Structure 1
Amino acid sequence: MTTRRLVLSRSAALIGAASTGLLLPQIVHAQSSKIRIGLMLPATGTFAQTGLGVDNGFHLALEEAGNKVGGRDIEWFRVDDESEPSKGVENATRLVQRDKVDVIVGTIHSGVQMGIHKVARDTGVLSLIPNAGVHAATRAQCAPNVFRTSFTNSQPTSALGKVMVDRGHKKAVWITWKYAAGDEAFEGFRDSYTKAGGTVVKELGLPFPNVEFQALLTEIASLKPDAVCCFFAGAGAAKFIKDYAAAGLKGKIPLYGSGFLTEGVLEAAGASADGILTTLHYSDSLDTPRNKAFRLAYAKRFRMQPDVYAVQGYDTGTLLMRGADAVKGDLSNKKALYAAMEGAVIDSPRGKWTMSKAHNPIQDMYLRQVANGENKVIGIAAKAVADAGTGCRMA
């Protein structure tokens, strides 16, 4: 009887304490023993394959660490963002408000990224960008809780200008989808190309994700430039490459591009891609022990070969673990968490890179040429390329 009274007494005390909020820290701690990770990536549409690469790479990094982040287990939440900017805020809000995630990892499409970015800035949730290179995220709208592990849209193309002029291509046509990523990739190309002495004779564009290229390819043929430079990615890039060859331009007008033109699409593009020159912060053929070990581990785990998207996903996982380990899994210790991530040196398959003050990678850009179904490194186009970070003022 005494025991029963004691139990009831303690139960009443516990209920009373809970009603006054005294037990809230313990209850919250019990509910949040796992780190809640929200993956907001495309699972359908033209960027589905790129989203899969990021997803796989991110998981591989965490699996190699025993599927723990800062010593804590992981709970996963997923959203197919459909590469649809109009749903960006809604989907990101669902992850933060309904699923109570500690971190959002996403995404591919720059327009969708700006939806995530608004939610991240409004709520303070940790936001890791594994691909989308939209400038604003690490320029005028930079934020302490937002980190990018990939590039800005103008970084790869900023290494193209001098390469093209040095090869004698002084008049070029630019072609892309008319959306944020395409416009910002053009900025990097235009600035580097004109600085090196080249002239952009025409800018051509079509709405994303339109892949009816024929009229624009006919115009390119009539313009007869020294070279064509472009930004396309995913399934649309494969079609552009094949259409370019089918239009009779391959072998007549050299094709250059941001490296995403030939990432993850070489099998689909086939022989049409042979000879294309691109600049990017990674290549399958990087002959380093780190890259070889990564490629072997990835192939064993997923029964496919990794690409730059997989590397970026892998580095995103690595960066998250670096920060979480520094705070022993307490992601609420934001000052120490951000400091650890800002100061990280990432030993990546792409080569070692560091984080800029605007939270964007400082990294080498490789010159690659497609040969025998592979992006082969033929040199370093530019070393330690950093985005300008224009307008970034960390709060």
Structure 2
Amino acid sequence: MPPILKLTLAAIAATTTLATQAQQAPLKVGLMLPYTGTFAALGDNIEKGFRLYINEQGGKLAGREIQFFKVDDESEPSKATDNVNKLIKRDNVDVIVGTVHSGVALAMARAAKESNTLLIVPNAGADGITGPQCAPNIFRSSFSNWQPGYATGVVAAQKGYKKAMTITWNYAAGTETVKGFTEAFEKAGGKVVKDLTLPFPNVEFQALLTEIAAQKPDVVFAFFAGGGAVKFVKDYDAAGLKKTVPLMGSGFLTDGTLEAQGASAQGLITTLHYADNIETPRNNDFRNKFAVAYRSNPDVYAVQGYDAAQLLAAGLNAVKGDMAKRPAMLAAMNKATIDSPRGRFTLSPQRNPVQDFYIREVKGLYNVNSGIAVKALADPGRGCKG
């Protein structure tokens, strides 16, 4: 055999070997979630949901082992860029999954866009992520802040309420959710007479509750989550308002918080893209497996983490685990239909779930589905050019 041909064959063999080794190398997944503070329980359930799906696949995605790198984002936007760069620059992760806090997620999205790192957001609803900051490498498995606010506004108007007040933390998730509520409520003829806010993560609600009592609106719309939601619902009840002014909210007000809220939460109406008793084989199977694995009931955060893993798998399976085939992988993720416990969903052109929003009523320790608020609700993706 001529020497040149020998050399060529050797080079091809070496290239093939390197490609195979790269394909079999562990996939580096960076988890940037809140592991301490107000949202710690939320971050924990997102991770549990994500790991549950991977465990169902035998611990691999598209044949590749998973290597995890974890960073506590502390729900602190000022630390977000440094924290996400630990995963991007120090750990050289293939994909980042995070986070809960919208302010932190916006900084993560900027870093992911600049570095072209694949980012899957399993909770934070910041409208900008699928709006002005959208990018082909940024996906969401949860919702936009606008969506649950809008759905609740539809339901409040259907109930005949005409005058509303809103209350939330003064940060992206709160203000954007309130805007969604206001858009739907006022489109149907209602009027939001006052928006009340307090700094995140402040939970001193008394002065604002006094103002609600004085104004006597037909309904109050609230956005809080985690520990803040627990205290708000209990304080609202303790102030005597539960009996006089109906309280409604984005579903995060009562998701993952019911045990701590106790009797104060009973009867509260919220809307969200998940409810505990969606009677489908898919949801029942998910809930049973989660309960066996973690000895607790899953919530919406667990679902969103689980579906982040499903979305990643849809892309990886399309390219047989070879992330070097980036365009084909992203295209497959864009076109995916996710068989979620919440119900099947697709993605909008801005890579945000197009999904049903349920009306939920608190009964015992469950957010019980009592109907559909809005079917196949798509975020408008205002400002997205990517």
TM-score (norm 2): 0.94
Runs of 4+ in 1 over 4 A off after TM superposition: 27-32
Deviation digits for residues 279-301 of structure 1, max 9, x if unmatched? 00001111111111100000000
Change (3 A) 1:340 1:27: closer
Aligned twin of 1:234: 226
Matching residue's letter, 2:115 = T
2:32/2:99 contact within 8 Å kept: yes
Q: CA deviation at 1:162?
A: 2.6
Change (3 A) 1:225 1:193: same
Aligned twin of 1:160: 152
Q: CA deviation at 1:164?
A: 1.2
> In structure 1, what is the Cα distance between the partners aligned to 2:20 and 2:115?
18
> In structure 2, what is the Cα distance between the partners aligned to 1:131 and 1:160?
18
| Match status 1:134 vs 2:126 | yes
| Match status 1:70 vs 2:62 | yes
> In structure 2, what is the Cα distance between the partners aligned to 1:229 and 1:115?
28
2:24/2:64 contact within 8 Å kept: no
Which residue of 255, 263, 267 corresponds with 2:259?
Answer: 267
Partner SS for 1:389: coil
Aligned twin of 2:39: 47
Aligned twin of 1:323: 315
Aligned twin of 2:353: 361
> In structure 1, what is the Cα distance between the partners aligned to 2:19 and 2:320?
20
Change (3 A) 1:282 1:30: closer
| Match status 1:38 vs 2:30 | yes
Instruction: State which drifts further: 373-382 or 305-314.
Output: 373-382
| Match status 1:56 vs 2:56 | no
Q: CA deviation at 1:31?
A: 10
Q: CA deviation at 1:28?
A: 11
Superposed, 1:1-395 pairs within 5 Å as: 26=18, 29=21, 33-394=25-386
> In structure 1, what is the Cα distance between the partners aligned to 2:321 and 2:247?
47
Change (3 A) 1:30 1:384: closer
Matching residue's letter, 2:154 = K
> In structure 2, what is the Cα distance between the partners aligned to 1:126 and 1:370?
37
Change (3 A) 1:328 1:27: closer
Identity of aligned residues (%): 56
Q: What count of residue pairs does the alignment treat as equivalent?
A: 375
Deviation digits for residues 194-234 of structure 1, max 9, x if unmatched? 00111111110000000000010011000001110011000
1:38/1:105 contact within 8 Å kept: yes
Q: CA deviation at 1:29?
A: 4.7
Partner SS for 1:150: coil
Q: CA deviation at 1:375?
A: 0.5
The Cα RMSD (Å) is 1.8
Q: CA deviation at 1:26?
A: 3.4
Partner SS for 1:73: strand
Rg larger for: 1
Partner SS for 2:181: helix
Matching residue's letter, 2:239 = A
1:161/1:198 contact within 8 Å kept: no
Aligned twin of 2:6: none
Structure 2: runs of 5+ lacking an equivalent? 1-10
Deviation digits for residues 220-261 of structure 1, max 9, x if unmatched? 000001110011000100100000000000121100000000
Matching residue's letter, 2:379 = D
